Structure 1
Amino acid sequence: MKLDNSISAVITGGASGLGLATARALASHGVKVALFDLNEEAGEAIASELGGVFCKVNVADEASVDAGFEKARAANGQERILVNCAGIGNAIKTAGRDRKTGGISQFPIAEYRKVIEVNQIGTFICTVKAAAGMMTLDPEDGERGAIISTASVAAEDGQVGQVAYSASKAAIVGMTLPIARDLSAEHIRVNTILPGLFETPLLMSLPENVRQSLGAMVPNPARLGKPEEYASLALEMVRNPYLNGEDIRLDGAIRMAPR
Protein backbone atom coordinates (compact mmCIF):
# COMPACT_ATOMS: atom_id res chain seq x y z
CA MET A 1 0.00 0.00 0.00
CA LYS A 2 1.27 3.44 -0.85
CA LEU A 3 1.77 5.98 1.90
CA ASP A 4 0.68 9.48 0.95
CA ASN A 5 -1.98 12.10 1.63
CA SER A 6 -4.63 10.14 -0.25
CA ILE A 7 -5.10 7.76 2.67
CA SER A 8 -5.75 8.04 6.39
CA ALA A 9 -4.83 6.03 9.46
CA VAL A 10 -6.13 5.49 12.97
CA ILE A 11 -3.58 4.80 15.70
CA THR A 12 -4.82 3.72 19.12
CA GLY A 13 -2.59 4.71 22.02
CA GLY A 14 -1.31 7.35 19.64
CA ALA A 15 -0.42 9.98 22.24
CA SER A 16 2.69 8.21 23.55
CA GLY A 17 5.26 5.49 23.05
CA LEU A 18 4.96 3.10 20.13
CA GLY A 19 1.71 4.64 18.91
CA LEU A 20 3.15 8.14 18.86
CA ALA A 21 6.23 7.01 16.93
CA THR A 22 4.01 5.25 14.39
CA ALA A 23 1.74 8.28 14.01
CA ARG A 24 4.76 10.49 13.38
CA ALA A 25 6.20 8.05 10.84
CA LEU A 26 2.92 7.83 8.93
CA ALA A 27 2.40 11.60 9.02
CA SER A 28 5.93 12.11 7.65
CA HIS A 29 4.71 10.39 4.47
CA GLY A 30 1.65 12.64 4.26
CA VAL A 31 -0.81 10.12 5.70
CA LYS A 32 -3.71 11.77 7.52
CA VAL A 33 -3.65 10.50 11.10
CA ALA A 34 -6.23 10.20 13.86
CA LEU A 35 -5.03 9.48 17.39
CA PHE A 36 -7.20 7.46 19.77
CA ASP A 37 -6.11 7.95 23.39
CA LEU A 38 -7.37 8.89 26.84
CA ASN A 39 -4.69 11.54 27.39
CA GLU A 40 -6.52 14.56 26.03
CA GLU A 41 -3.81 17.15 26.68
CA ALA A 42 -1.00 15.18 25.01
CA GLY A 43 -3.28 13.89 22.26
CA GLU A 44 -4.49 17.34 21.22
CA ALA A 45 -0.95 18.71 21.20
CA ILE A 46 0.39 15.86 19.08
CA ALA A 47 -2.55 15.97 16.68
CA SER A 48 -1.91 19.68 16.18
CA GLU A 49 1.79 19.00 15.58
CA LEU A 50 1.00 16.33 12.97
CA GLY A 51 -1.94 18.09 11.33
CA GLY A 52 -4.16 15.24 12.46
CA VAL A 53 -7.17 14.77 14.70
CA PHE A 54 -7.38 13.63 18.32
CA CYS A 55 -10.23 11.45 19.52
CA LYS A 56 -10.61 10.75 23.23
CA VAL A 57 -11.36 7.03 23.17
CA ASN A 58 -11.56 4.21 25.68
CA VAL A 59 -10.83 1.23 23.43
CA ALA A 60 -12.57 -1.16 25.81
CA ASP A 61 -15.87 0.69 25.39
CA GLU A 62 -17.69 0.07 22.10
CA ALA A 63 -19.67 3.31 22.18
CA SER A 64 -16.48 5.30 22.79
CA VAL A 65 -14.76 3.53 19.89
CA ASP A 66 -17.74 4.18 17.60
CA ALA A 67 -17.65 7.88 18.48
CA GLY A 68 -13.90 7.97 17.84
CA PHE A 69 -14.19 6.45 14.39
CA GLU A 70 -17.07 8.80 13.55
CA LYS A 71 -14.95 11.84 14.47
CA ALA A 72 -11.84 10.53 12.70
CA ARG A 73 -13.71 9.75 9.49
CA ALA A 74 -15.48 13.11 9.50
CA ALA A 75 -12.08 14.79 9.57
CA ASN A 76 -9.92 12.47 7.46
CA GLY A 77 -12.24 10.16 5.55
CA GLN A 78 -12.43 6.39 5.84
CA GLU A 79 -9.13 4.99 7.12
CA ARG A 80 -7.19 2.35 5.20
CA ILE A 81 -4.77 1.78 8.08
CA LEU A 82 -5.41 0.82 11.70
CA VAL A 83 -2.54 0.41 14.17
CA ASN A 84 -3.59 -0.96 17.58
CA CYS A 85 -1.10 0.26 20.21
CA ALA A 86 -3.36 1.01 23.18
CA GLY A 87 -2.67 -1.25 26.13
CA ILE A 88 -2.13 -1.59 29.87
CA GLY A 89 -0.43 -4.06 32.20
CA ASN A 90 0.06 -5.02 35.82
CA ALA A 91 2.38 -7.20 37.88
CA ILE A 92 0.41 -9.53 40.15
CA LYS A 93 0.96 -13.21 40.88
CA THR A 94 -1.87 -15.70 40.38
CA ALA A 95 -1.60 -16.42 44.09
CA GLY A 96 1.14 -15.40 46.49
CA ARG A 97 2.44 -15.87 50.00
CA ASP A 98 3.78 -13.15 52.27
CA ARG A 99 7.21 -14.36 53.40
CA LYS A 100 6.91 -12.64 56.77
CA THR A 101 3.34 -13.42 57.78
CA GLY A 102 2.64 -16.48 55.67
CA GLY A 103 -0.60 -14.86 54.49
CA ILE A 104 -1.92 -15.91 51.10
CA SER A 105 -3.09 -13.43 48.47
CA GLN A 106 -5.14 -13.99 45.33
CA PHE A 107 -5.08 -12.17 42.00
CA PRO A 108 -7.97 -9.64 42.09
CA ILE A 109 -10.26 -10.84 39.32
CA ALA A 110 -11.37 -7.28 38.53
CA GLU A 111 -7.74 -6.38 37.77
CA TYR A 112 -7.36 -9.42 35.53
CA ARG A 113 -10.56 -8.57 33.68
CA LYS A 114 -9.46 -4.94 33.18
CA VAL A 115 -6.25 -5.96 31.38
CA ILE A 116 -8.12 -8.42 29.16
CA GLU A 117 -10.79 -5.85 28.34
CA VAL A 118 -8.33 -3.14 27.31
CA ASN A 119 -5.67 -5.22 25.57
CA GLN A 120 -7.56 -8.08 23.98
CA ILE A 121 -11.16 -6.90 23.69
CA GLY A 122 -10.13 -3.32 22.95
CA THR A 123 -7.92 -4.49 20.10
CA PHE A 124 -10.76 -6.62 18.76
CA ILE A 125 -13.37 -3.85 18.97
CA CYS A 126 -11.16 -1.43 17.04
CA THR A 127 -10.28 -4.11 14.50
CA VAL A 128 -13.94 -4.98 13.90
CA LYS A 129 -14.94 -1.33 13.42
CA ALA A 130 -12.00 -0.53 11.14
CA ALA A 131 -12.50 -3.65 9.03
CA ALA A 132 -16.18 -2.89 8.50
CA GLY A 133 -15.30 0.64 7.42
CA MET A 134 -12.53 -0.51 5.08
CA MET A 135 -14.97 -2.86 3.38
CA THR A 136 -16.88 0.18 2.07
CA LEU A 137 -13.82 1.31 0.08
CA ASP A 138 -12.85 0.37 -3.44
CA PRO A 139 -9.60 -1.59 -3.58
CA GLU A 140 -6.48 0.32 -4.61
CA ASP A 141 -3.73 -1.82 -6.10
CA GLY A 142 -5.72 -4.83 -4.91
CA GLU A 143 -6.00 -3.65 -1.28
CA ARG A 144 -8.70 -2.09 0.85
CA GLY A 145 -6.73 -1.80 4.06
CA ALA A 146 -4.11 -2.98 6.53
CA ILE A 147 -4.52 -3.65 10.24
CA ILE A 148 -1.60 -3.96 12.66
CA SER A 149 -1.91 -5.00 16.29
CA THR A 150 0.59 -4.91 19.13
CA ALA A 151 1.19 -7.98 21.24
CA SER A 152 4.40 -8.51 23.23
CA VAL A 153 7.17 -11.05 23.71
CA ALA A 154 5.27 -11.71 26.96
CA ALA A 155 2.74 -13.54 24.79
CA GLU A 156 5.38 -16.26 24.50
CA ASP A 157 7.79 -15.57 27.40
CA GLY A 158 5.52 -14.38 30.20
CA GLN A 159 7.36 -13.60 33.41
CA VAL A 160 6.37 -13.94 37.06
CA GLY A 161 3.43 -11.63 37.72
CA GLN A 162 2.55 -11.23 34.03
CA VAL A 163 -0.32 -13.70 33.79
CA ALA A 164 -2.98 -11.13 32.85
CA TYR A 165 -0.73 -9.19 30.50
CA SER A 166 0.63 -12.36 28.87
CA ALA A 167 -2.82 -13.84 28.41
CA SER A 168 -4.11 -10.65 26.79
CA LYS A 169 -1.16 -10.45 24.42
CA ALA A 170 -1.26 -14.16 23.57
CA ALA A 171 -4.90 -13.66 22.63
CA ILE A 172 -3.91 -10.93 20.17
CA VAL A 173 -1.42 -13.33 18.58
CA GLY A 174 -4.11 -16.00 18.46
CA MET A 175 -6.57 -13.65 16.76
CA THR A 176 -4.21 -12.57 13.99
CA LEU A 177 -4.45 -15.47 11.55
CA PRO A 178 -8.21 -16.09 11.91
CA ILE A 179 -8.94 -12.39 11.36
CA ALA A 180 -6.58 -12.30 8.37
CA ARG A 181 -8.49 -15.28 6.95
CA ASP A 182 -11.87 -13.70 7.75
CA LEU A 183 -10.89 -10.56 5.84
CA SER A 184 -8.91 -12.15 3.00
CA ALA A 185 -11.78 -12.01 0.51
CA GLU A 186 -12.13 -8.29 1.28
CA HIS A 187 -8.43 -7.62 0.53
CA ILE A 188 -7.68 -6.41 4.06
CA ARG A 189 -4.39 -7.61 5.57
CA VAL A 190 -3.80 -8.25 9.28
CA ASN A 191 -0.46 -8.58 11.09
CA THR A 192 0.85 -8.33 14.64
CA ILE A 193 4.12 -7.08 16.15
CA LEU A 194 5.51 -8.59 19.36
CA PRO A 195 7.85 -5.92 20.82
CA GLY A 196 10.50 -6.76 23.37
CA LEU A 197 12.02 -4.20 25.75
CA PHE A 198 11.37 -0.75 24.29
CA GLU A 199 11.85 2.85 25.34
CA THR A 200 8.21 3.31 26.27
CA PRO A 201 7.10 5.84 28.92
CA LEU A 202 6.92 3.05 31.52
CA LEU A 203 10.51 1.91 31.03
CA MET A 204 11.84 5.43 30.54
CA SER A 205 10.48 6.33 33.98
CA LEU A 206 12.90 3.87 35.56
CA PRO A 207 16.33 4.96 36.83
CA GLU A 208 19.09 5.10 34.22
CA ASN A 209 21.02 2.20 35.78
CA VAL A 210 17.92 0.01 35.66
CA ARG A 211 17.32 0.86 31.99
CA GLN A 212 20.94 0.03 31.17
CA SER A 213 20.62 -3.28 32.99
CA LEU A 214 17.50 -4.15 31.04
CA GLY A 215 19.14 -3.17 27.76
CA ALA A 216 22.13 -5.37 28.55
CA MET A 217 19.79 -8.37 28.65
CA VAL A 218 19.17 -8.01 24.91
CA PRO A 219 21.59 -10.18 22.86
CA ASN A 220 22.02 -7.84 19.88
CA PRO A 221 21.85 -4.90 19.86
CA ALA A 222 22.34 -4.79 23.62
CA ARG A 223 19.99 -1.91 24.36
CA LEU A 224 16.32 -1.05 24.63
CA GLY A 225 14.41 -0.87 21.38
CA LYS A 226 13.54 2.54 19.99
CA PRO A 227 9.89 3.38 19.25
CA GLU A 228 11.01 4.44 15.76
CA GLU A 229 12.12 0.85 15.14
CA TYR A 230 8.63 -0.37 15.94
CA ALA A 231 7.21 2.29 13.62
CA SER A 232 9.56 1.19 10.85
CA LEU A 233 8.24 -2.36 11.00
CA ALA A 234 4.64 -1.14 11.17
CA LEU A 235 5.16 0.90 7.99
CA GLU A 236 6.72 -2.08 6.23
CA MET A 237 3.69 -4.16 7.19
CA VAL A 238 1.53 -1.54 5.48
CA ARG A 239 3.73 -1.27 2.38
CA ASN A 240 4.38 -4.95 1.70
CA PRO A 241 1.29 -6.48 0.05
CA TYR A 242 2.43 -10.08 0.63
CA LEU A 243 2.84 -9.71 4.40
CA ASN A 244 -0.36 -11.08 5.91
CA GLY A 245 -1.41 -13.17 8.89
CA GLU A 246 2.00 -12.84 10.54
CA ASP A 247 3.15 -12.39 14.13
CA ILE A 248 6.67 -10.93 14.18
CA ARG A 249 8.90 -10.57 17.24
CA LEU A 250 10.86 -7.33 17.35
CA ASP A 251 13.14 -7.95 20.29
CA GLY A 252 16.87 -8.13 19.52
CA ALA A 253 16.66 -11.94 20.03
CA ILE A 254 15.78 -11.67 23.73
CA ARG A 255 14.00 -14.55 25.43
CA MET A 256 12.63 -13.43 28.76
CA ALA A 257 13.68 -15.26 31.93
CA PRO A 258 11.04 -16.15 34.57
CA ARG A 259 11.85 -12.94 36.51
Structure 2
Amino acid sequence: MKLDSTVSAVVTGGASGLGAATVRALAAKGVKVAIFDLQTEKGEALAAEIGGVFCEVNVTSDESVDAGLEKARAAHGQERVLVNCAGTGNAIKTASRSREDGAIKHFPLDAFNWVIQINLVGTFRCIAKSAAGMLTLDPADEFGERGAIVNTASVAAEDGQVGQAAYAASKGGVVGMTLPIARDLMNEGIRVNTILPGIFDTPLMKGAPDNVKDALAASVPFPKRFGQPVEYAALALTMIETSYFNGEDVRLDGGIRMAPR
Protein backbone atom coordinates (compact mmCIF):
# COMPACT_ATOMS: atom_id res chain seq x y z
CA MET A 1 0.00 0.00 0.00
CA LYS A 2 1.31 3.42 -0.91
CA LEU A 3 1.17 5.71 2.10
CA ASP A 4 0.44 9.34 1.26
CA SER A 5 -2.13 12.08 1.80
CA THR A 6 -4.87 10.01 0.12
CA VAL A 7 -4.75 7.48 2.99
CA SER A 8 -6.28 7.81 6.45
CA ALA A 9 -5.38 5.74 9.49
CA VAL A 10 -6.55 4.98 13.01
CA VAL A 11 -4.02 4.18 15.75
CA THR A 12 -5.39 2.90 19.07
CA GLY A 13 -3.27 3.65 22.11
CA GLY A 14 -1.79 6.35 19.90
CA ALA A 15 -1.12 9.02 22.53
CA SER A 16 2.12 7.55 23.87
CA GLY A 17 4.75 4.86 23.49
CA LEU A 18 4.60 2.53 20.50
CA GLY A 19 1.36 4.08 19.31
CA ALA A 20 2.68 7.64 19.35
CA ALA A 21 5.77 6.63 17.38
CA THR A 22 3.52 4.98 14.80
CA VAL A 23 1.30 8.06 14.62
CA ARG A 24 4.34 10.22 13.85
CA ALA A 25 5.72 7.75 11.29
CA LEU A 26 2.41 7.61 9.42
CA ALA A 27 2.00 11.39 9.53
CA ALA A 28 5.53 11.81 8.13
CA LYS A 29 4.30 9.93 5.05
CA GLY A 30 1.42 12.38 4.68
CA VAL A 31 -1.21 10.00 6.09
CA LYS A 32 -4.18 11.57 7.89
CA VAL A 33 -4.13 10.01 11.37
CA ALA A 34 -6.80 9.65 14.05
CA ILE A 35 -5.50 8.93 17.55
CA PHE A 36 -7.69 6.70 19.77
CA ASP A 37 -6.75 6.86 23.44
CA LEU A 38 -7.98 7.71 26.93
CA GLN A 39 -5.05 10.08 27.61
CA THR A 40 -6.79 13.23 26.48
CA GLU A 41 -4.04 15.78 27.15
CA LYS A 42 -1.31 13.77 25.43
CA GLY A 43 -3.59 12.71 22.59
CA GLU A 44 -4.76 16.24 21.81
CA ALA A 45 -1.19 17.56 21.92
CA LEU A 46 0.03 14.89 19.51
CA ALA A 47 -2.94 15.43 17.19
CA ALA A 48 -2.10 19.14 17.08
CA GLU A 49 1.55 18.33 16.40
CA ILE A 50 0.83 16.11 13.38
CA GLY A 51 -2.32 17.81 12.11
CA GLY A 52 -4.49 14.83 13.00
CA VAL A 53 -7.56 14.28 15.13
CA PHE A 54 -7.83 12.95 18.68
CA CYS A 55 -10.75 10.72 19.68
CA GLU A 56 -11.22 9.78 23.33
CA VAL A 57 -11.91 6.06 22.98
CA ASN A 58 -12.24 3.16 25.40
CA VAL A 59 -11.63 0.01 23.35
CA THR A 60 -13.72 -2.08 25.76
CA SER A 61 -16.88 -0.21 24.74
CA ASP A 62 -18.81 -0.67 21.49
CA GLU A 63 -20.35 2.79 21.87
CA SER A 64 -16.98 4.46 22.48
CA VAL A 65 -15.29 2.78 19.50
CA ASP A 66 -18.28 3.58 17.26
CA ALA A 67 -18.16 7.24 18.32
CA GLY A 68 -14.42 7.39 17.73
CA LEU A 69 -14.72 5.91 14.26
CA GLU A 70 -17.55 8.31 13.43
CA LYS A 71 -15.43 11.30 14.48
CA ALA A 72 -12.33 10.03 12.67
CA ARG A 73 -14.23 9.33 9.45
CA ALA A 74 -15.98 12.70 9.55
CA ALA A 75 -12.56 14.35 9.70
CA HIS A 76 -10.53 12.13 7.36
CA GLY A 77 -12.86 9.74 5.53
CA GLN A 78 -12.88 5.97 5.82
CA GLU A 79 -9.58 4.63 7.15
CA ARG A 80 -7.51 2.21 5.06
CA VAL A 81 -5.08 1.56 7.93
CA LEU A 82 -5.67 0.41 11.51
CA VAL A 83 -2.83 -0.06 14.00
CA ASN A 84 -3.83 -1.53 17.37
CA CYS A 85 -1.49 -0.43 20.17
CA ALA A 86 -3.96 -0.04 23.04
CA GLY A 87 -3.12 -2.44 25.84
CA THR A 88 -2.46 -3.04 29.51
CA GLY A 89 -1.17 -5.72 31.87
CA ASN A 90 -0.80 -6.92 35.43
CA ALA A 91 1.39 -9.33 37.39
CA ILE A 92 -0.52 -11.75 39.62
CA LYS A 93 0.21 -15.42 40.23
CA THR A 94 -2.52 -17.93 39.40
CA ALA A 95 -2.50 -19.13 43.02
CA SER A 96 -0.06 -18.22 45.75
CA ARG A 97 0.74 -18.53 49.45
CA SER A 98 1.47 -15.53 51.63
CA ARG A 99 4.99 -15.49 53.06
CA GLU A 100 3.71 -13.70 56.16
CA ASP A 101 0.87 -15.94 57.32
CA GLY A 102 0.58 -18.73 54.76
CA ALA A 103 -2.81 -17.52 53.55
CA ILE A 104 -3.71 -18.85 50.10
CA LYS A 105 -5.22 -16.69 47.40
CA HIS A 106 -5.87 -16.97 43.66
CA PHE A 107 -5.82 -14.62 40.68
CA PRO A 108 -9.00 -12.47 40.95
CA LEU A 109 -11.09 -13.27 37.90
CA ASP A 110 -12.15 -9.65 37.43
CA ALA A 111 -8.47 -8.68 37.15
CA PHE A 112 -7.90 -11.46 34.62
CA ASN A 113 -10.94 -10.44 32.60
CA TRP A 114 -9.90 -6.76 32.63
CA VAL A 115 -6.69 -7.57 30.75
CA ILE A 116 -8.49 -9.87 28.31
CA GLN A 117 -11.16 -7.26 27.58
CA ILE A 118 -8.63 -4.54 26.73
CA ASN A 119 -5.86 -6.48 25.01
CA LEU A 120 -7.79 -9.20 23.19
CA VAL A 121 -11.46 -8.30 22.92
CA GLY A 122 -10.67 -4.60 22.49
CA THR A 123 -8.26 -5.39 19.66
CA PHE A 124 -10.82 -7.62 17.95
CA ARG A 125 -13.58 -5.03 18.43
CA CYS A 126 -11.51 -2.40 16.61
CA ILE A 127 -10.49 -4.85 13.87
CA ALA A 128 -14.06 -5.96 13.17
CA LYS A 129 -15.51 -2.44 13.09
CA SER A 130 -12.66 -0.97 11.06
CA ALA A 131 -12.65 -3.87 8.59
CA ALA A 132 -16.39 -3.46 8.04
CA GLY A 133 -15.71 0.14 7.10
CA MET A 134 -12.84 -0.84 4.81
CA LEU A 135 -15.21 -3.10 2.87
CA THR A 136 -16.99 0.04 1.63
CA LEU A 137 -13.81 1.33 -0.05
CA ASP A 138 -12.88 0.89 -3.68
CA PRO A 139 -9.71 -1.17 -4.16
CA ALA A 140 -6.55 0.94 -4.10
CA ASP A 141 -4.63 -1.13 -6.67
CA GLU A 142 -5.05 -3.71 -9.44
CA PHE A 143 -4.86 -6.56 -6.92
CA GLY A 144 -7.87 -5.33 -4.96
CA GLU A 145 -6.20 -4.08 -1.79
CA ARG A 146 -8.60 -2.15 0.45
CA GLY A 147 -6.81 -1.96 3.76
CA ALA A 148 -4.09 -3.09 6.16
CA ILE A 149 -4.29 -3.86 9.87
CA VAL A 150 -1.38 -4.19 12.31
CA ASN A 151 -1.88 -5.56 15.82
CA THR A 152 0.38 -5.51 18.87
CA ALA A 153 0.95 -8.71 20.81
CA SER A 154 4.08 -9.36 22.91
CA VAL A 155 6.87 -11.88 23.29
CA ALA A 156 4.87 -12.88 26.39
CA ALA A 157 2.50 -14.60 23.96
CA GLU A 158 5.26 -17.22 23.63
CA ASP A 159 7.49 -16.63 26.69
CA GLY A 160 5.06 -15.59 29.42
CA GLN A 161 6.73 -15.02 32.77
CA VAL A 162 5.65 -15.61 36.35
CA GLY A 163 2.50 -13.60 37.06
CA GLN A 164 1.73 -13.03 33.37
CA ALA A 165 -1.11 -15.55 32.92
CA ALA A 166 -3.65 -12.89 31.93
CA TYR A 167 -1.23 -10.82 29.87
CA ALA A 168 0.20 -13.84 28.05
CA ALA A 169 -3.28 -15.24 27.41
CA SER A 170 -4.46 -11.92 25.97
CA LYS A 171 -1.42 -11.50 23.73
CA GLY A 172 -1.45 -15.18 22.74
CA GLY A 173 -5.03 -14.64 21.66
CA VAL A 174 -4.00 -11.74 19.43
CA VAL A 175 -1.36 -13.98 17.80
CA GLY A 176 -3.82 -16.84 17.46
CA MET A 177 -6.49 -14.79 15.72
CA THR A 178 -4.17 -13.08 13.23
CA LEU A 179 -4.21 -15.77 10.54
CA PRO A 180 -7.93 -16.60 10.82
CA ILE A 181 -8.82 -12.92 10.50
CA ALA A 182 -6.46 -12.52 7.53
CA ARG A 183 -8.26 -15.48 5.95
CA ASP A 184 -11.67 -14.01 6.77
CA LEU A 185 -10.72 -10.82 4.95
CA MET A 186 -8.57 -12.19 2.12
CA ASN A 187 -11.25 -11.96 -0.55
CA GLU A 188 -11.87 -8.32 0.38
CA GLY A 189 -8.25 -7.25 0.00
CA ILE A 190 -7.61 -6.48 3.68
CA ARG A 191 -4.34 -7.70 5.17
CA VAL A 192 -3.70 -8.45 8.86
CA ASN A 193 -0.34 -8.81 10.64
CA THR A 194 0.87 -8.74 14.24
CA ILE A 195 4.05 -7.52 15.93
CA LEU A 196 5.36 -9.20 19.11
CA PRO A 197 7.55 -6.56 20.81
CA GLY A 198 10.16 -7.52 23.37
CA ILE A 199 11.44 -5.10 26.02
CA PHE A 200 10.80 -1.58 24.74
CA ASP A 201 11.60 1.87 26.06
CA THR A 202 8.05 2.98 26.72
CA PRO A 203 6.50 5.14 29.47
CA LEU A 204 5.86 1.95 31.47
CA MET A 205 9.63 1.34 31.68
CA LYS A 206 10.64 4.89 32.53
CA GLY A 207 9.47 4.47 36.12
CA ALA A 208 11.57 1.36 36.78
CA PRO A 209 14.76 1.66 38.89
CA ASP A 210 17.98 2.04 36.90
CA ASN A 211 19.39 -1.28 38.16
CA VAL A 212 16.28 -3.11 36.93
CA LYS A 213 16.47 -1.41 33.52
CA ASP A 214 20.18 -2.18 33.23
CA ALA A 215 19.59 -5.86 34.00
CA LEU A 216 16.76 -6.09 31.51
CA ALA A 217 18.82 -4.44 28.77
CA ALA A 218 21.74 -6.77 29.47
CA SER A 219 19.45 -9.79 29.00
CA VAL A 220 18.86 -8.93 25.33
CA PRO A 221 21.22 -11.00 23.11
CA PHE A 222 21.90 -8.13 20.67
CA PRO A 223 21.78 -5.21 20.72
CA LYS A 224 21.94 -5.02 24.52
CA ARG A 225 19.41 -2.25 24.94
CA PHE A 226 15.68 -1.67 24.99
CA GLY A 227 13.84 -1.54 21.72
CA GLN A 228 12.93 1.96 20.59
CA PRO A 229 9.34 2.91 19.68
CA VAL A 230 10.57 4.17 16.30
CA GLU A 231 11.74 0.62 15.53
CA TYR A 232 8.25 -0.70 16.22
CA ALA A 233 6.82 2.03 13.99
CA ALA A 234 9.26 1.14 11.20
CA LEU A 235 8.12 -2.49 11.24
CA ALA A 236 4.46 -1.46 11.36
CA LEU A 237 4.96 0.70 8.26
CA THR A 238 6.81 -2.12 6.51
CA MET A 239 3.84 -4.41 7.17
CA ILE A 240 1.46 -1.79 5.79
CA GLU A 241 3.50 -0.83 2.75
CA THR A 242 4.54 -4.35 1.71
CA SER A 243 1.46 -5.86 0.14
CA TYR A 244 2.80 -9.43 0.26
CA PHE A 245 3.03 -9.18 4.06
CA ASN A 246 -0.11 -10.95 5.32
CA GLY A 247 -1.17 -13.28 8.13
CA GLU A 248 2.18 -13.00 9.91
CA ASP A 249 3.24 -12.73 13.56
CA VAL A 250 6.72 -11.24 13.89
CA ARG A 251 8.88 -10.93 17.00
CA LEU A 252 10.75 -7.65 17.40
CA ASP A 253 12.93 -8.38 20.40
CA GLY A 254 16.70 -8.39 19.79
CA GLY A 255 16.63 -12.19 19.97
CA ILE A 256 15.49 -12.37 23.59
CA ARG A 257 13.70 -15.39 25.05
CA MET A 258 12.17 -14.43 28.37
CA ALA A 259 13.18 -16.37 31.49
CA PRO A 260 10.50 -17.52 33.97
CA ARG A 261 11.04 -14.37 36.05
Q: TM-score range by the shorter chain?
A: over 0.9
Structure 1 position 105, deviation (Å):
1.1
AA aligned opposite 1:25: A
Given the alignment of the two structures, is residue 17 of structure 1 paired with residue 23 of structure 2, yes or no?
no
Output the CA distance in 1 between the equivalents of 2:86 and 2:22.
12
Aligned-partner residue type, residue 42 of structure 2:
A
Q: CA deviation at 1:35?
A: 0.3
Q: Does 1:249 align with 2:258?
A: no
CA distance in 1, matches of 2:220, 2:99: 32
Q: For the residues of structure 1 that align with 2:154 and 2:243, how far apart are their CA atoms?
A: 23
Partner of 1:55: 55
Deviations 1:26-71 (A, max 9, x none): 0011000000000111111110001000000000111100000000
- Once residues 179 and 80 of structure 2 are traced to their aligned partners in structure 1, the CA distance between those partners, rounded to angstroms, is 19
Deviation of residue 126 (structure 1)? Answer: 0.2
Query: TM-score, normalised to structure 2's length?
Result: 0.98
Measured in 2, the distance between the counterparts of 1:212 and 1:231 equals 24
Could you list the per-position Cα deviations for residues 217-258 of structure 1 after superposition, in whole angstroms to 9, with x for gaps in the alignment?
000111100000000000000010100000000000000000
Q: Where does structure 2 lack aligned partners over 5 or more consecutive residues?
A: none
Q: CA deviation at 1:99?
A: 1.7
Quick one: percent identity of the two aligned structures?
68
Q: Does 1:111 align with 2:108?
A: no
Selected match of 1:258 from 254, 257, 260: 260
Amino acid aligned to 1:64: S
Q: Secondary structure at the match of 1:171?
A: helix
SS at match of 1:54: strand
1:207 Cα deviation from its structure 2 partner:
2.1
* Aligned positions, number: 259
**Unaligned 5+ runs, structure 1:** none
* Pairwise CA distance, 1:213: 1.3
CA drift of 1:212 comes to: 1.6
How far apart are the structure 2 equivalents of 1:235 and 1:133? 21
Q: 2:97 & 2:257 partners in 1: Cα distance?
A: 27
TM-score in terms of structure 1 length: 0.99
Instruction: Give, in whole Å, the separation in 2 of the partners of 1:52 and 1:102.
Output: 54
Query: Cα RMSD (Å) of the superposition?
Result: 0.6
